[in-house]
Amino acid sequence: MTAASTPDHSAAAHRRRRTGPRPLGRHLAVTLAFLLAMAGTAVGVGAFGGAPIDEAAGGLLSADATHLAPATPAFRIWSVIYLGLGAYTLWQWWDRRDDRGIAGLAIASLLLNAAWILVVQAGAVALSVLVIVVLLGVLGALFRRLTARPPAGALERVVVDGTFGLYLGWVSVATCANIAAALKGAGFSGFGAPEVLAVMVLLAVAVVGVALTRAGRRPVAAPAAVVWGLLWIAVGRATDAPSSPVVATAAATVTAVIVLATLFAVLRPPRRLEDAHGPAGVRPSDGGAR
């Protein structure tokens, strides 16, 4: 299949997305979900008088609460993610078809984001683990749909794939920190060896991060967000309580491994099967023309 005949990268794909009946209900649902997520964020930073997230629930989610808590600057990534989600909300008004089938999952992710903030504000850290795990599952399903079908162009690659890749990568790290916070709140001390347990979790995150580098076509955003989170865990354990050279070193090492895996994924030649027969390895004569 040649580049000219690849449906997702043709001018026809762009025309299809601009034509046809406008799905007003979907557009409005995504927009409303985004506005609710922004309202939740305002609550999370204490804009309406409540405690900021790092002070809520007895400070269990603060930067110095556990061995897996990233340092405070790590949370600046939310500004980029929310900017991307806003761009996606605007972009989806142009996309009338939702060919990749992500709108419903995007709505769910936005609502779960707001729900997580409200749950934490209520001091229910254990319940927040359930919410963030469901959020992680939703983002994983969304990411899988994105990797199954390439974007129609550079704008979609940045606004959609980039945004939700960052979202997934960061939530992957945040889930570990959230679970650690809930365990601490329940009085769990890591079997007397919290550093060892933290290192084991970091190794699991390394596996996830490397797996993300092998998903789809040269992905960068998702592993980059994982790297960002791990880097700030390393900084936190090196410069703030609970101080742990062991965890800091492990986090830095895992960060380096994922960076190398990402570089390898970006620099490796495209797979011949995909180049010759399309993303699913289907020849046009086999029904690949869509």
Rounded to 10 deg, the angle between the 103-121 and 24-44 helix axes is 20
Give dist(CA 219, CA 266) in Å, integer: 7
Q: Which residue, 174, 31, 175, is CA-closest to 106?
A: 31
Q: Which residue, 210, 215, 241, 244, is CA-closest to 227?
A: 210
The pLDDT score that the predictor gives to residue 4 is: 42
Q: Quickly count: other Cβ atoms within 10 Å of residue 158's Cβ.
A: 15
Q: What is the DSSP letter of 95?
A: -
Q: Are 237 and 251 in contact (CB under 8 A)?
A: yes
The pLDDT score that the predictor gives to residue 202 is: 98
| pTM of the entire predicted model | 0.86
The pLDDT score that the predictor gives to residue 285 is: 42
Q: Are 71 and 239 in contact (CB under 8 A)?
A: yes
Q: What tens-digit pLDDT sequence spans the chain (290 residues)? A: 444 444 444 455 555 555 556 789 999 999 999 999 999 999 888 888 778 999 999 999 999 999 999 999 999 999 999 999 999 999 999 998 899 999 999 999 999 999 999 999 999 999 999 999 999 999 999 999 999 999 999 999 999 999 999 999 999 999 999 999 999 999 998 999 999 999 999 999 999 999 999 987 778 999 999 999 999 999 999 999 999 999 999 999 999 999 999 999 988 876 554 444 444 444 444 444 34
